Structure formats: C-alpha cells, structure tokens
Amino acid sequence: IVAKTNMDEFAMGSSNEHSIFGPVSNPIDARKVSGGSSGGSAVAVASGVIDIALGSDTGGSVRQPAAFCGVYGLKPTYGRISRYGLTAFASSLDQIGIFSRNTNDIVNMFQAIGGHDTHDSNTSKLPLNCDYAKINTNNLTIGYSNHLFNKLNPDMRKPYDSLIDFLKLNNIKVKNIDIDLLDLAIPTYYIIATAEASSNLSRFDGIRYGQKQHGHNVHDLFTKTRSKFFGEEVKRRIMLGTYVLSSGYYDAYYKKALKIRKMITNNLVSVFSDCDLLILPTTPTPAFNKQEKINDSLEMYLSDIFTVPISLAGLPAMSIPIEQVNGLPIGAQLCANYFHENNIFSFSKFIEDKFT
C-alpha cells in the first residue's frame, strides 16, 4: 500500500467536495468533480499513478467515481470482503470495493482480499467465485430495463442502447425486464444510512475517539468537540439520523424504511430468476461541475439513484467504462445475484475485449 487517498469526510458525499483537503478534480476535465466519496482512489487509478485502489461503497462510492473517471469499480456482495480496519458509516450497507483500469486487476485483487475473516463476523464463509474464464458469455442471459433507460436524457441513453444492440448482434441473449421501485430507494437509503451513521459516529466524542476540545463538563466537551470537528454534511446526517431514530418517529420513518428496503430487495433479487446479469446505468449523468450541487443536497443525493438500490439489497455490482458522453466517461453497471461476482467478471472481460 503506497498511500491514503482523498475522500469525502466519513465517506458521505457523491462529489468529493466534502473533504477537509479540498475537492478532487476529474482527470478528464478539472472543472468537473471526480465523483465520490472515493474520488481520490478513482483518480489515482484513472491517471495511472497506481494500478489498483480500494475504496468503500455504502451507496455507490466506488461505482459512481469509477464511472465519472472512466475506470472499473467493483462493489462485491455484502459480506464478501472484510471491513476490519474500516471506519463504519452505515454498517448494514458498507462494503470495501476495488478500482482498476481492467477486469483482470479487479479479479486478482478480489481474490487476494475477499473471503472469510475472523475479525469481521459479517464476512461469508462461502468460497470465492472468481473463476470467470470458464464461463461462456453466450450461455448468460443479460437483463436490462427500458423503463429505467427511459429516465435518461437522449445523449445519455444512446451508449446503453448501442451496448444492447451490440450484444444482440453477438448473439448474446438479452431480455427487457420491468424494474420499478427505484424512486423509493433514495429516501429509504437516506433514512437507513443516516440512522446507522448517527449511531456509528457517536464514538467520535473527544474522549473515546477523535480530537478533543476542552469543556466545563462532559456534555460541554462533547458538544464543543463535535461542533468543531465534524463537517457540515456529516452534521446534517447525524441530525437526520438521530431524528428518524427518536421515539415517536422511529415507526413512521425508520421502521417503514426497513420494510421498503425489503420490498426493493425482493424485487431486485426476483429479477435473477429471468436473467444472470442485469445492466443498469451507473449514474444518471456524466461528471457534473464542481459547486453545481453542493448547495442542493437532494440533487446531490439523486446522483446515486442507480447505485443505491443495489446497496440496499446487498447485491454485487461493478461499473465498467463504456462510451463517452459530451467528452466525459460514463459507466455501465453490471449487477449479479448474491456471490455471483464471476458472472460480472466474465461479462466485463467480454465487453472490455470486444466492445470498448
């Protein structure tokens, strides 16, 4: 490991603008954001400084910056890679992800760090599924959703249409599958993720973890410390999370969000009785301008609309670079059923060799 990379504070953000070190610039156009929260990792790989980087992906923080910077970014199945040593943001969603410039490097790294770890009881004991070379892509059925592609503007939609046309031309079985419920994913995610964050971050109080501001008593010390050292976005999330967990609101928000999470999960998992792999956009647009969304949290949160549902379900997904839109990279998100990363890898390699 050669370095630590820049990122949004506590991995909360979609543009790497919530960093004490300042924003990370997009390597293709410095006026644009790198994506986030793992923007530094994505750019370090895209610019060739390093070959492979790690990041954490709670709702898209590896896949989204990978798409914005034109590299590969994997978020494996929840519980596939150990989180020992990772600072927790939203524990039921957090996964370690991998960035690289090709499929092979992702697979090799996955093989090196994936699997059971006695230090993380959430890790699965199932064997790693990465022997992708044995899979014949002609035996895979690839699902996509016109309903979702219709949500994109025409410039953005075109590369996905060409990808599907290319697959048809190559005799790959493709299937249009109606997927809905994604509109519920962002509000559901921002209730569950902030609730878990407010609990996880309570340890940063100046006594157990983190820097300290002195106070007249313990309460004063906590208040001064947390007010001074947490950034604006982190404070916003702690307040939101504390609110949705408070008595009186717990049933109305948190409990309801858990139920909707279950619905989204069931809906997405059922897709895999019709196909082996699902192609989704990674992001609704290419990289946006710095400062463009920083004062509009809702707009910023919506940039994760296609990655967040997969995280809520705990499914594996990888963003792979396809064509460019207005001179900027975009990604296609390949999603498979639990622990079927090998399907993702084999298809990613096929697209890498034949399409791009």
Reduce the DSSP state of residue 72 to 3 states and report it. strand
Residue 22 burial (CB count, 10 A)? 9
For ligand GLN, give the closer residue by CB, 71 or 140.
Answer: 71
Task: Write the interaction track for ligand GLN spanning residues 186-205; mark x where CB under 6 A is met and - where it is not.
Answer: -------x------------
For ligand GLN, give the closer residue by CB, 57 or 276.
Answer: 57
| φ and ψ at residue 206, rounded to 5 degrees | 90, -10
Q: Which of 43, 52, 31 is nearest to 7 (CA)?
A: 43
Q: Which of residues 72-111 bind ligand GLN (CB under 6 A)?
A: 89
Using the contact rule CB under 6 A, the part of the chain among 5-13, 24-32, 101-109, 267-275 near ligand GLN is 5-13
Q: Which of 288, 299, 335 is nearest to 316 (CA)?
A: 335
Number of residues that bind ligand GLN (CB under 6 A): 14
Q: Which residue has the tokens 């019709």?
A: 274
First to last CA, the chain: 30
Q: How far apart are CA 238 and CA 57, in angstroms?
A: 19
Using the contact rule CB under 6 A, the part of the chain among 57-65, 109-117, 220-228, 287-295 near ligand GLN is 57-65
Q: Which of 252, 14, 285 is nearest to 157 (CA)?
A: 285
Buried b (16+ CB within 10 A) or exposed e, 217-238: eeeebbebbbeebbeebbeebb
Using the contact rule CB under 6 A, the part of the chain among 58-66, 102-110, 278-286, 341-349 near ligand GLN is 58-66
Any contact of residue 12 with ligand GLN (CB under 6 A)? yes
Q: How far is the CB of 252 from ligand GLN (least distance, A)?
A: 22
Q: Which residue in the shown chain puts its C-beta closest to ligand GLN? A: 61
Any contact of residue 16 with ligand GLN (CB under 6 A)? no
Any contact of residue 304 with ligand GLN (CB under 6 A)? yes
Using the contact rule CB under 6 A, the part of the chain among 9-17, 20-28, 260-268, 337-345 near ligand GLN is 9-17
Q: How far is the CB of 351 from ligand GLN (least distance, A)?
A: 24
Binds ligand GLN by CB under 6 A, chosen from 23, 27, 60, 76: 60
For ligand GLN, give the closer residue by CB, 62 or 135.
Answer: 62
Binds ligand GLN by CB under 6 A, chosen from 16, 26, 37, 198: 37
For ligand GLN, give the closer residue by CB, 66 or 177.
Answer: 66
**Gyration radius of the chain over CA positions:** 20
Binds ligand GLN by CB under 6 A, chosen from 6, 58, 82, 319: 58
Using the contact rule CB under 6 A, the part of the chain among 45-53, 55-63, 246-254, 341-349 near ligand GLN is 55-63
Q: How far is the CB of 6 from ligand GLN (least distance, A)?
A: 14
Q: How far apart are CA 301 and CA 313, in angstroms?
A: 18
> DSSP letters along 167-214, please?
HHHTT-EEEE-----GGGHHHHHHHHHHHHHHHHGGG-SSSSSS----
Q: Which of 36, 32, 46 is nearest to 16 (CA)?
A: 36
Q: How far is the CB of 317 from ligand GLN (least distance, A)?
A: 12
Answer yes or no: are the C-beta atoms of 330 and 282 closer than 8 Å: yes
Helix axes 232-245, 185-200, angle to 10 degrees: 100
Any contact of residue 11 with ligand GLN (CB under 6 A)? yes
Any contact of residue 17 with ligand GLN (CB under 6 A)? no
Judged by the rule CB under 6 A, the positions of this chain that interact with ligand GLN are 11-14, 37, 56-61, 89, 193, 304
